[in-house]
């Protein structure tokens, strides 16, 4: 009887340990599966960009930009999200004397648009600018994307005062005009100097064939050297003027490109 009882106790102990091990193994496997599923279905934002809209066919953004004019009707923000939720919330912020302030008029909760046959979708919204608070607060703005109440992505963009651009372009045009006029004056003086230089060279060559005093020859040599210095200096100044002119023209062209780039703006 004692032997039978002892065997039974040993078997019960082994079975208890086996059950405990199986339970632990099952728990571990369940945890791994849960973590795997969580990883597989994690909601991640793959890309965010400021734009003017998106293609309904491809869901891709249209009109990439980092800045909007205060005369634009609206600013758009586009986000591509893997394993997206049903909806996404956008909020916009601006700087108020060094303090980040939420623009409540920009609050937007939108439904995610799923890309058929894929595991991703997009969220897109706009913030009105023209005639609204953003048009009177040019500078750096921030868009924040929230999923389930948590900030998932932050995107900065600029709102530019259109009148400042117009004023800058006008100022650049005026500067270019002044530089061109200065260049014309330099070219005219340069041509006069070339003519004078040519005459002096000829006179010098003619004098070499005649008898002149040593003092006269020294004076002529000095005049020749002075003119050569003036000639070299003028060439150098002409190069500087050209450099300035080209630089101003490049700046002007950049400003024009900016204006053209925002061709969709409301003026």
Of 114, 141, 160, the residue at which a domain comes to its end is 160
Per-residue model confidence (pLDDT) at position 195: 72
- CA dihedral of 256, 262, 263, 265, whole degrees rounded to 10: -130
Q: Is 266 domain-assigned?
A: no
231 burial type by CB count under 10 A (0-12 exposed, 13-18 middle, 19+ buried): middle
In this structure, are residues 164 and 74 in contact, taking their beta carbons and an 8 Å threshold?
no
Q: Is 3 domain-assigned?
A: no
124 and 64 belong to one structural domain: yes
55 and 155 belong to one structural domain: yes
In this structure, are residues 238 and 186 in contact, taking their beta carbons and an 8 Å threshold?
yes
Per-residue model confidence (pLDDT) at position 167: 77
97 and 77 belong to one structural domain: yes
CATH code assigned at 90: 2.60.40.10
Q: Is 26 domain-assigned?
A: no
User: Residue 96: in which H helix or E strand, if any?
Assistant: strand 87-96
202 and 124 belong to one structural domain: no
Of 160, 182, 206, the residue at which a domain comes to its end is 160
Per-residue model confidence (pLDDT) at position 35: 40
Counting the structural domains of the chain, the total is 2
Residue 9 and residue 22: Cα distance in Å, rounded? 20
103 and 153 belong to one structural domain: yes
Per-residue model confidence (pLDDT) at position 188: 72
Of 106, 128, 160, the residue at which a domain comes to its end is 160
Q: Which domain holds residue 197?
A: 164-261
Q: Quick one: which of 151, 62, 139, 56 has its CA closest to 100? A: 139
In this structure, are residues 238 and 187 in contact, taking their beta carbons and an 8 Å threshold?
yes
Q: Is 10 domain-assigned?
A: no
226 and 141 belong to one structural domain: no
190 and 240 belong to one structural domain: yes
Q: Is 97 domain-assigned?
A: yes
129 and 156 belong to one structural domain: yes
Per-residue pLDDT of the chain (267 residues; tens, 9 = 90+): 444 444 455 445 555 554 555 454 454 554 444 444 344 457 789 999 999 999 999 999 998 898 999 999 999 999 999 999 999 999 999 999 889 999 999 999 999 999 999 999 999 999 999 999 999 999 999 999 999 999 999 999 999 998 887 777 766 767 677 777 776 676 776 676 677 666 666 665 665 555 555 665 566 666 666 666 666 666 666 556 555 555 555 555 555 444 444 444 444
Per-residue model confidence (pLDDT) at position 259: 46
């Amino acid at each position: 009887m004692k032997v039978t009882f002892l065997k039974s106790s040993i078997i019960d102990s082994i079975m208890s340990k086996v059950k405990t091990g199986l339970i632990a193994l099952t728990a571990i496997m369940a945890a791994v599966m849960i973590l795997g599923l969580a990883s597989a279905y994690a909601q991640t934002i793959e890309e965010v960009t400021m734009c003017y809209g998106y293609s309904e066919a491809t869901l891709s953004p249209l009109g990439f930009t980092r800045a909007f004019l205060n005369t634009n009707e609206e600013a758009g923000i586009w986000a591509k999200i893997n394993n997206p939720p049903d909806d996404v919330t956008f909020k916009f912020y601006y700087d108020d004397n060094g303090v980040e302030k939420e623009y409540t008029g920009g609050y937007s909760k939108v439904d995610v648009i799923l890309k058929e046959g894929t595991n991703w979708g997009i969220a897109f919204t706009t913030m009105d600018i023209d005639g609204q608070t953003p048009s009177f607060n040019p500078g750096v703005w921030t868009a924040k994307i929230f999923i389930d109440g948590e900030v998932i992505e932050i995107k900065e963009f600029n709102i530019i005062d259109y009148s400042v651009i117009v004023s800058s372009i006008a100022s650049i045009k005026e500067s270019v005009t002044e530089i061109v006029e200065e260049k014309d004056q330099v070219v005219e003086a340069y041509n006069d100097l070339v003519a004078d230089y040519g005459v002096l060279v000829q006179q010098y060559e003619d004098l070499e064939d005649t008898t002149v005093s040593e003092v006269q020859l020294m004076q002529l040599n000095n005049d020749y050297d002075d003119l050569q210095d003036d000639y070299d200096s003028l060439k150098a100044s002409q190069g500087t003027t050209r450099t300035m002119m080209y630089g101003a023209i490049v700046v002007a062209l950049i400003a024009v490109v900016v204006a053209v780039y925002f061709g969709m703006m409301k003026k």
